[in-house]
Amino acid sequence: MGTWIRTGPAAAASVLACALLLVVQQAWYFGGWGGDEVGRLVTDASYVPQALVFTVLAVRVALSERQEPRTRRAWLVIAFAFGCQLAAHCSWFVQEHVTHTTGYPSPADYFFLLFSPFMFAGLLMLPGQSRRRRDRQKLALDVLIVGAGGFMALWYLLLGPILNAPGLSWWERSFTAALPVGDLLLVLAMSTAMLRRHQPETPAPMLLLAGSIALTVTADVSYTWIQLHGRFTGGSWPDLLWLAGCFLLVVAADQQYRRPRRSGPRRGDRNPVFILPYAASVAAYVLLAEQSSHLPLDPYGGMILGSAVLTLLVMARQLHALRDNREMAVTDGLTGLANRTLVTQRLEQIARQPIRPGHHTAVMLVDLDRFKPINDTFGHEAGDAVLVAAANAMRSVIRDGDLAGRLGGDEFAVLLHHLPSREVAGAAAARLLEALRTPVIFGEHVLMVEASIGVAVREDPETSGETLLQQADTALYAAKRAGRGRFEYFSDVLDTKAREADLRRAVAGDELVVYFQPAVALVTGELLGAEALVRWNHPVRGLLGPGEFIDLAEETGAIVPLGAWVLRAACREAAGWRAASPGAEALRLSVNLSPKQVAQADLVQTVETILAETGFPADRLTLEITESVILQPDPLIIGRLQALRDLGIRLAVDDFGTGYSALSYLRSLPVTTLKIDRSFVTGIADDAEARSVCEAVVHLGGAFKMTVVAEGIETAEQAAALIDMGCTIGQGFHFYRPLPPAEAAAVVHRQASAVG
């Protein structure tokens, strides 16, 4: 059986077979085929396979790792209840068609009675929402209202007549009364299980169990009524309800197994099962009215009618109060939009919906630009006026059925449903941006506001509501980085975590490649060395320059393993040049170090290890650091740089002049080279100010006895101007573009051959 209950097709086939069996039995009953005897045989025989199937399927749920532990324990007890049903139906079949015994209560009756306490316990064990003490008290009152209404009906229909029925022994009277009491327990347990689940929607297995219990209780009441007024025989109309209830148990057990495991119950307050106490009260008054219809109108009729009307008015008033409380709980007090609670609930509903063509769902996250200066300058009242105006703009743009909400501060969310395409979400974002640009009049001031919007379209059915909101947040910050006052779609390219994982896989999977840009003597053009520049040979996006991923690597910390990989690959390649071309021993290799690498405690050991592995000499290596490293160096960083210098490695300051370098540190740090940033070199030939700055850096390097290297040289005029200033080394497109390893090796070989 263990193998069978884990076989999906077998379980589905069993459910289908039970459905066909139910249809056949119903058709047989209403068709009146074969007479009463055959009808009873067909009906009683229909119970056994259905009971066997729902018992096995319940065991499958109890043993499934897909379910939460609490759910598994509850369904284990429910499986015992189902087993009692199976034993009862088997006993009844034997009693009716094999032994033809007529005693009451029969063994089947005892098994039917045992079903109620086990089912009662199992239903109460089903997991529900954690509640405060006040909520538990409210739940108890609701359940007691349902129980009181049910007790009134059972007392009138069964319990009262049972206690007064003549000709019953004390045991028969007690047993007969125990059946409706057991049904009342089932009603109480089912009401408790449904009312304590704070969910916008009651799960399908719970609804199916409730339907089965409703049919079973109705059939039990009918059975006991018939027993009180005669003798029940199989094949009569209560069997239709019992069989339908059995089939619902089959489907409930199957649906519970298929239901995905959740980390916790979902919150919400719009569950329709909360009408149960009111429905029970109405039913009790209907029964009271029916029973008191023969009483005189004065005084009983008026009192009963007044009590009923008064109770109904109190219930109506409470329903209005509940609705008002609901609106207050999910509405932002300032703007009147939905608050974070309702937005979260709607996102969870979206996450459970299937994705269909032409029915896209999108989330827009809206953040007001320059809102804080308005608050600081004009006060919070002005800020509130802007927020209210923004809310009105959103109402004017979104359609009926969509939802706009304020998450907090100046951040809003808009949920769009049933979009025909992804592009429609962008069109809605563009309209919203335009609406939000409307000036806000506050007293004598005209406040100008814009917004940035991130748009996330749900395209993966596994995407949760929280993930969808995070995607919109990622797109929002991309819009802000791109200049504000615009919207951006979320894509995997924007997903920092996904891109970081992709980048780390690239480092581990040899998707990176090192290009080399030669540095030359400006006067002679002689090759003096090369700078290592990393590229990413992306399997989908092609060859990517460092501008596409270095910032991400710095932000996420992936720059540390990436930088070590670049240093190792560059040293290995340069060592190969030296081995293949004897004249290349004098060439220098320059490799960039990021600030995060410099901050690593094991930097010196890492560099030593790489040099030992590749065989590249330390005195031919130059490590380039940024100005941010030398701006406020701490003693540990100075010690690491000095240790590198003691190995014979030269240190260069890259892009010198673009930051806020303190010249005093150039005297105390072991720096040997300054590299003039390309931004100063670009206008050197025709811009007197750029020429003056560049010339000052060259003279500064001379004053500190440092080598000066000019980057970004693109024309002969720029090279000539640098030579006139006294700069001797340069690199740029005028001489060489960054070269792939094979081309760089060829250039080195030609240079070494020429020197030789």
pLDDT in tens, 212-244: 888 888 887 777 777 676 666 666 777 788 888
What is the distance between the alpha carbons of residues 675 and 259, in angstroms, rounded to a whole number? 64
Please choose, from the candidates 490, 469, 468, the residue with its C-alpha nearest in 3D space to the C-alpha of residue 478: 490
Cα dihedral 738, 744, 746, 752 in deg (nearest 10) = 110
| pLDDT at res. 3 | 41
CB atoms within 10 A of CB 291: 12
Does residue 632 have a pLDDT over 70?
A: no
pLDDT band of residue 279 (cuts 50, 70, 90) is low
Which residues, at least 6 apart from 670, have a Cβ–Cβ distance to it below 8 Å? 641, 642, 644, 645, 651
What is the distance between the alpha carbons of residues 41 and 35, in angstroms, rounded to a whole number? 10
Q: How many residues does the chain have?
A: 756
What mean pLDDT comes out for the span 635-644? 88
Please choose, from the candidates 221, 198, 197, 200, the residue with its C-alpha nearest in 3D space to the C-alpha of residue 209: 197
What mean pLDDT comes out for the span 340-349? 86
Helix (H) or strand (E) holding 597, with range, is: helix 595-598
For residue range 288-323, list pLDDT tens digits in order. Answer: 555 555 555 444 444 455 555 555 555 555 555 556
Please choose, from the candidates 246, 235, 158, 250, the residue with its C-alpha nearest in 3D space to the C-alpha of residue 205: 250
Does residue 132 have a pLDDT over 60?
A: no
Please give the CATH topology (third level) of the domain spanning 502-755: TIM Barrel (3.20.20)
* Mean of pLDDT over the chain: 79
What phi and psi values does residue 118 have, to the nearest 5 degrees? -65, -45
Please give the CATH topology (third level) of the domain spanning 340-494: Alpha-Beta Plaits (3.30.70)
| pLDDT at res. 668 | 66
For residue range 499-530, list pLDDT tens digits in order. Answer: 677 778 888 877 889 999 999 999 988 999 99
* Greatest extent of the chain over all pairs of C-alpha atoms, in Å: 129
| pLDDT at res. 134 | 59
The tokens 């007090």 sit on which residue?
Answer: 333
Least confident of 274-278, 340-344, 604-608: 274-278
Does residue 102 have a pLDDT over 90?
A: no
Hey, what amino acid is at 96? Answer: E
The tokens 């007064």 sit on which residue?
Answer: 164
For residue range 173-197, list pLDDT tens digits in order. Answer: 788 788 888 887 887 777 777 766 5
Does residue 572 have a pLDDT over 70?
A: yes
What mean pLDDT comes out for the span 263-278? 49
Please choose, from the candidates 460, 489, 497, the residue with its C-alpha nearest in 3D space to the C-alpha of residue 472: 489
**What is the CA angle 515-518-521, rounded to 5?**
170
Cα 626 from chain centroid (whole Å) = 39
| pLDDT at res. 208 | 86
pTM of the model: 0.45
**DSSP-assigned letters across all residues of 163-181:** HH-TT--HHHHHHHHHHHH
**Reduced to 3 states, what is the DSSP secondary structure of residue 77?**
helix
Least confident of 165-169, 278-282, 683-687: 278-282
Q: Which residue has the higher pLDDT, 733 or 371?
A: 733
For residue range 699-751, list pLDDT tens digits in order. Answer: 888 888 888 999 999 989 899 989 988 899 999 999 999 999 999 999 998 88
What is the distance between the alpha carbons of residues 456 and 469, in angstroms, rounded to a whole number? 8
What mean pLDDT comes out for the span 421-432? 88
**Reduced to 3 states, what is the DSSP secondary structure of residue 533?**
strand
What is the distance between the alpha carbons of residues 353 and 279, in angstroms, rounded to a whole number? 30
What mean pLDDT comes out for the span 539-551? 81
